[in-house]
C-alpha cells in the first residue's frame, strides 16, 4: 500500500468514526476529521462528556461498518446545495465551513457512506472492504478548540490509529510502549540528570551534577572535533539592545518570542534567542584580509525564547536552552569546503551514538517569498551551492521546500533513533543576508572590499533537545565513555572491602578521570546490584573471596550480561579501550 492509499484509508476511517458516533450519540455536533501521522482524528461536541470507556463500543461499531462493504460515493455540489443538505441537521460547524468555502468560490463535495454523509474533499477508498477491520483502533481522547482558536468552543477530539495490516498496528503499539519506557521526562529524573522547579518556572531545566557532567562531556567532544577543523572559542553576553535584532531582521521575525527587559533608564533590551548577530559584531571589530579568512567562531551558550506553556515538553521544548553554536565568516569561493568540514564533524559525532542520518535540503517556499530576506538571485545561488555539495557527497537529499531559515537555505540532518523515529538534529545554514545587513566584508586580492558570506553550524543544536533524543535512543544506557558513573565495585561482605578499595585505586591510576564508586553498604549484595542496575551503570564489579585469591573481578555488564571472572589487569585494558574509542 503506497502513502496515498494509506492516507485514503485513514481518511475513510475518520468518516466511519463520525458515522459510528452519530449512531450512538445522535445529537453530537461534527467538526472535522483529517488524516495525521499514524492515523486520523475527528472533533465533536457531545451533550454530555465522553469517557475513554465509550471508545470500545464506538470502535466496535466502526468495525461493523468496515465489514459492511459500504461504498464511498462522491457528489459534487454547489454551496447552495450543501447549505440545503445541512439546513435541518443542526450541524453549526459544517454550516460555518460551507459559508467560508462559498465565499472563496471553491467547489464543494459530499461523500456518502451507508447512512452517513459528510462535507469533504476526499480522497477515500472506493469501498470499506478495502479496510482490514483489525488494522485500526481508537486511541485516546483530547480537548481541542474549534479551528485551533481558543476563543471558539472546546471540542472532544477522538484519535485513531490505522495501518495497512494488524501486524503493522501491533508493531507500532509495541514501539510506542517501548517509547513510553524510554521517555526522557521519566528517565531523566530517575537517573538524576535534571529536574524542573515550579519556583523557577516551566521550561527552565536545572542540571544535577550527573546531568552537568554528561552535558559538558558532549560539549567537549564537539569542541574536540571543531578544534581539529580550526575553530576558536568566543563568548558573548546573554542580553542585547533591541537595535541589534532590528538590524539583523530577527526583531520583526521573533519579537513575540523574546523575553524583553526595560532598563531603569527606559532602554529596551532582549534576552538573546540566538547568537549569530552577536558573532557578527566580533567579526566586525577589525578589517580582515582575505588571507585571514575563514574566521570560525564557536560558542556554547544559553538562549531564551518565550515559548507558550502548552508548547513546553520536557527537554524537547524549553524556554532556556544551550546551543553549541558556530559561525564561519568566509568568502563565497571557500564556502563549499567549510560546509563539507562541518558535514564531516556531524557524521563523526552522530556515528558515535549509532544514529543513521539522512539529509534534507531546506529551501524557501517560492509561493511565499515575503517570508524570507534577500532576493531571488542570491537564494538561487545559495540553494544551487547546497545541491552541489550534496551531489559531491553522493547523498540524495530529502525535499524541504519551505523549511529554509528566513535568511538562507540549509542542510538539515535527520536522525533515525533505535525505535525508528526520525528527528531533526544538526543543521548547516547558509546566510548571505546578515553579512549584507551588517556590512561584513574582507579586503580581497585587488585591495577592494568583498562581501563575505556566513555559515551557521550547530552540531547538537540545542543540547537539551539532543539529550532528550539521546536518552530515548539509548533508553538511558549511555555509552561507557559518557555514563555519569562508569563502574561500581561491590564487595560481598566487609571482608572484601580493603581489596575493593585497592581495585578502585588500580582502575583510577590506569584510567585518568574514571568515574568509579565503592558500594560497601550493609545491604544485601542482591539489593545493591539491583540498585546499580536501575541507575544503568555499565559495569558492576563484584568481589568475593574467590576473586581476591585470583586477583580478579566477577563482572556483570549492563543488561544482566555475566562476563564471568576476569583478571583486574585484563578488565582495565578492556575498559580503557572502550572509553578511548568511544565505542
As a whole number of angstroms, the distance between CA 162 and CA 158 comes to: 13
- Catalytic site includes residue 121: no
As a whole number of angstroms, the distance between CA 158 and CA 499 comes to: 62
324 phi and psi angles, rounded to 5 deg: -90, 75
User: Residues 306, 309, 310, CA angle at the centre, nearest 5°?
Assistant: 130
The 8-class DSSP code of residue 241 comes to E
98, 107 Cβ separation under 8 angstroms: no
270, 261 Cβ separation under 8 angstroms: yes
| Catalytic residue (one of 323, 383, 429, 496) | 323
- Catalytic site includes residue 473: no
In 3-state terms, what secondary structure has residue 268?
strand
Query: What residue spans of 228-287 are helical by DSSP H?
Result: 242-248, 250-254, 276-283
As a whole number of angstroms, the distance between CA 527 and CA 525 comes to: 6
The residue ranges of DSSP E strands in 441-530, in sequence order, are 441-443, 449-451, 453-458, 487-491, 516-518
User: Residues 485, 489, 494, CA angle at the centre, nearest 5°?
Assistant: 140
Is it true that the peptide bond before 294 is cis, omega within 30 degrees of 0?
yes
Which helix or strand (DSSP H or E) is residue 223 part of? helix 209-227
Is it true that the peptide bond before 217 is cis, omega within 30 degrees of 0?
no
Which helix or strand (DSSP H or E) is residue 255 part of? none
The 8-class DSSP code of residue 396 comes to P
- Catalytic site includes residue 456: yes
| Catalytic residue (one of 327, 465, 473, 536) | 327
359 phi and psi angles, rounded to 5 deg: -120, 130
**Grid cell in block for residue 578:** 572502550
| Catalytic residue (one of 124, 250, 305, 360) | 305
As a whole number of angstroms, the distance between CA 205 and CA 317 comes to: 11
| Catalytic residue (one of 94, 250, 410, 556) | 410
The 8-class DSSP code of residue 395 comes to -
- Catalytic site includes residue 243: no
User: Residues 553, 556, 559, CA angle at the centre, nearest 5°?
Assistant: 170
**Grid cell in block for residue 552:** 580478579
| Catalytic residue (one of 120, 276, 298, 442) | 276
- Catalytic site includes residue 410: yes
- Catalytic site includes residue 276: yes
Is it true that the peptide bond before 386 is cis, omega within 30 degrees of 0?
no
| Catalytic residue (one of 11, 456, 528, 556) | 456
| Catalytic residue (one of 43, 139, 324, 325) | 325
Helix (H), strand (E), coil (C) string for 170-202: HHHHHHHHHHHHHCHHHHHHHCCCEECCCCCCC
Neighbours of 518 (CB within 10 A): 16
- Catalytic site includes residue 305: yes
**Grid cell in block for residue 84:** 440545503
Strands 29-30 and 35-36: unpaired
391-405 burial by CB neighbour count: b if 16+ within 10 A, else e? Answer: eebeeebeebeebbb
Neighbours of 328 (CB within 10 A): 28
As a whole number of angstroms, the distance between CA 65 and CA 162 comes to: 15
**Grid cell in block for residue 415:** 536522525
The residue ranges of DSSP E strands in 13-106, in sequence order, are 29-30, 35-36, 39-45, 73-77
- Residues serving a catalytic function are 276, 305, 323, 325, 327, 410, 456
Amino acid at each position: 500500500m503506497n502513502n496515498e492509499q494509506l492516507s485514503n484509508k485513514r481518511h475513510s476511517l475518520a468518516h466511519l468514526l463520525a458515522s459510528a458516533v452519530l449512531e450512538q450519540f445522535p445529537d453530537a455536533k461534527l467538526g472535522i476529521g483529517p488524516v495525521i501521522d499514524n492515523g486520523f482524528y475527528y472533533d465533536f461536541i457531545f451533550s454530555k462528556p465522553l469517557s475513554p470507556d465509550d471508545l470500545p463500543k464506538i470502535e466496535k461499531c466502526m468495525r461493523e461498518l468496515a465489514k459492511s462493504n459500504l461504498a464511498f460515493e462522491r457528489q459534487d455540489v454547489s454551496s447552495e446545495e450543501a447549505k440545503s443538505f445541512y439546513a435541518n441537521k443542526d450541524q453549526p460547524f459544517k454550516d460555518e465551513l460551507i459559508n467560508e468555502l462559498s465565499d472563496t468560490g471553491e467547489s464543494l463535495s459530499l461523500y456518502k457512506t451507508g447512512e452517513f454523509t459528510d462535507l469533504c474533499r476526499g480522497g477515500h477508498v472506493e469501498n470499506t472492504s478495502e479496510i482490514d477491520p483489525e488494522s485500526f483502533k481508537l486511541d485516546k481522547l483530547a480537548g481541542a478548540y474549534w479551528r485551533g482558536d481558543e476563543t471558539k468552543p472546546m471540542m472532544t477530539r477522538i484519535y485513531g490509529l490505522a495501518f495497512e495490516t494488524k501486524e503493522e498496528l501491533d508493531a507500532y503499539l509495541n514501539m510506542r510502549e517501548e517509547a513510553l519506557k524510554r521517555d526522557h521526562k521519566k528517565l531523566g529524573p530517575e537517573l538524576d540528570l535534571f529536574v524542573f522547579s515550579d519556583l523557577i518556572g516551566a521550561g527552565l531545566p536545572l542540571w544535577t551534577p550527573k546531568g552537568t557532567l554528561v552535558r559538558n562531556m558532549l560539549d567537549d567532544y564537539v569542541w574536540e572535533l571543531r578544534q581539529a577543523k580550526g575553530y576558536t572559542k568566543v563568548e558573548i553576553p546573554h542580553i542585547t539592545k533591541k537595535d541589534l535584532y532590528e538590524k539583523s531582521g530577527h526583531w520583526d521575525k521573533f519579537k513575540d518570542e523574546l523575553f524583553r527587559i526595560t532598563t531603569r533608564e527606559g532602554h529596551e533590551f532582549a534576552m538573546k534567542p540566538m547568537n549569530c548577530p552577536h558573532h557578527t559584531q566580533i567579526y566586525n571589530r577589525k578589517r580582515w584580509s582575505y588571507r585571514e579568512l575563514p574566521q570560525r567562531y564557536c560558542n556554547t551558550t544559553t538562549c531564551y525564547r518565550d515559548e507558550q506553556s502548552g508548547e513546553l515538553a520536557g527537554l524537547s521544548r524549553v524556554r532556556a536552552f544551550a546551543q553549541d553554536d558556530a559561525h564561519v565568516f568566509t568568502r563565497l569561493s571557500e564556502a563549499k569546503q567549510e560546509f563539507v568540514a562541518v558535514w564531516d564533524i556531524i557524521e563523526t559525532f552522530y556515528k558515535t551514538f549509532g544514529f543513521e542520518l539522512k539529509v534534507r535540503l531546506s529551501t524557501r517556499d517560492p509561493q511565499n517569498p515575503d517570508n524570507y530576506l534577500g532576493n531571488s538571485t542570491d537564494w538561487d545561488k545559495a540553494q544551487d551551492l547546497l545541491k552541489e555539495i550534496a551531489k559531491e557527497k553522493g547523498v540524495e537529499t530529502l525535499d524541504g521546500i519551505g523549511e529554509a531559515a528566513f535568511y538562507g537555505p540549509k542542510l538539515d540532518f535527520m536522525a533515525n533513533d533505535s525505535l525508528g523515529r526520525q528527528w531533526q538534529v544538526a543543521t548547516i545554514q547558509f546566510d548571505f543576508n546578515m553579512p549584507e545587513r551588517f556590512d561584513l566584508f574582507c579586503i580581497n586580492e585587488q585591495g577592494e572590499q568583498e562581501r563575505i558570506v556566513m555559515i551557521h553550524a550547530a552540531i547538537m543544536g540545542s543540547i537539551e533537545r539532543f539529550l532528550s533524543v539521546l536518552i530515548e535512543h539509548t533508553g538511558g544506557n549511555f555509552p561507557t565513555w559518557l555514563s555519569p558513573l562508569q563502574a561500581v565495585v561491590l564487595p560481598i561482605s566487609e571482608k572484601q572491602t580493603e581489596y575493593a578499595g585497592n581495585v578502585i585505586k588500580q582502575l583510577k591510576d590506569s584510567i585518568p578521570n574514571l568515574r568509579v564508586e565503592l558500594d560497601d553498604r550493609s545491604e544485601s549484595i542482591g539489593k545493591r546490584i539491583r540498585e546499580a542496575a536501575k541507575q544503568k551503570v555499565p559495569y558492576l564489579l563484584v568481589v568475593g573471596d574467590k576473586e581476591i585469591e585470583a586477583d580478579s573481578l566477577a563482572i556483570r555488564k549492563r543488561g544482566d550480561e555475566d562476563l564471568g571472572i576476569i583478571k583486574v589487569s585484563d578488565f582495565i585494558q578492556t575498559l580503557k579501550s572502550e572509553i578511548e574509542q568511544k565505542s
